[in-house]
Amino acid sequence: MNYRTLGKTGIKVSPYALGAMMFGGIANADHDDCIRIIHKALDFGINFIDTADRYSAGESEEIVGKALKGRRDSIVLATKFSGPMGEDPNRQGASRRWIVQAVEDSLRRLQTDHIDLYQIHRPMPDTDIEETLSTLTDLMRAGKVRAIGSSTFPVSEIVEAQWVAERRGLARFRTEQPPYSILDRGIEGDMLPTCQRYGMGVVVWSPLSKGMLTGRYRKGQPLPEGGTRARVFSRQMSDERSLDAVEQLIPLAAEAGMSLTYMAMAFVMAHPGVTSALLGPRTMAHLDDLLAGAETRLTDDLMDRIDQIVPPGTDVGLNEAAYRPPAVTQPGLRRRPASERVAA
């Protein structure tokens, strides 16, 4: 395994990271099976595991905690906070009140005394970023957290967080976790160069674009039955632009002598700004298939041909799990009152 440095933290991590979102009631409720999957990944050389408190309402963290007994010291363990953890409106977000509670809950479920990388799961526009960074800085000083990061932040908020940290003498985000795949290339234009400029590690999620790049979802064919992603992201799986791109990518991969999945994973790992890519297996068969393609490398000619299908810096289709800022989702923030809409 050729380990990479996680930004400027000095922490060495595997190019593939094991994402634990599928472990628990959302997808695989068999704890013993999930633990076997985790152990298989660790035996392969993966030393980086990423989960979140909200994955199956904490069950994912519990599974990871059980799996790491006796192996914790050799693992870079990452988790996330800010998603809702119940009906109480204060059991979510990025306030000091919640973060202090959330980290203790995660430490208990993970059965550890520290988290190597603690990430805010999504931006929280209702909370001053200084409040969040100040609390995370205190957790680092207390030894409960080793490094901090963001996930799916707009570039402007990444820059603002860096500036606030510098001005206030606070710990700064050392990593960003954005979506990135052949179908989701928007971060190439600004996000990845910004993270490189600030020395941030980048751990990309959904390198297979929620399963679109497995070849299971084809134009003119019904969605596969029983698939977790198909149920949750049915609109994305039937998006015409994405399907059109997939239909062009499948023969390209076949011509190169590889599966679409292997080509998609090798593509995201080829970018110099990417540290690790998250694998999100639900079953052992999923993991085995992904690990079998770990040595796949793409030629410059193949990369150029991918660029012709999906141009650099372009998002061709839907990503229903991506962050949409209030300025886009709330009409009141992008429309003047009716009385003010006339020019004279």
> Which residues are part of the catalytic machinery?
55
Rg of the chain over CA atoms, in angstroms?
20
Tokens 């207390």, residue? 142
For residue 332, the Cα-to-chain-centroid distance in whole angstroms is 30
Residues 6 or more apart whose Cβ sits within 8 Å of residue 293: 258, 259, 261, 262, 265, 266
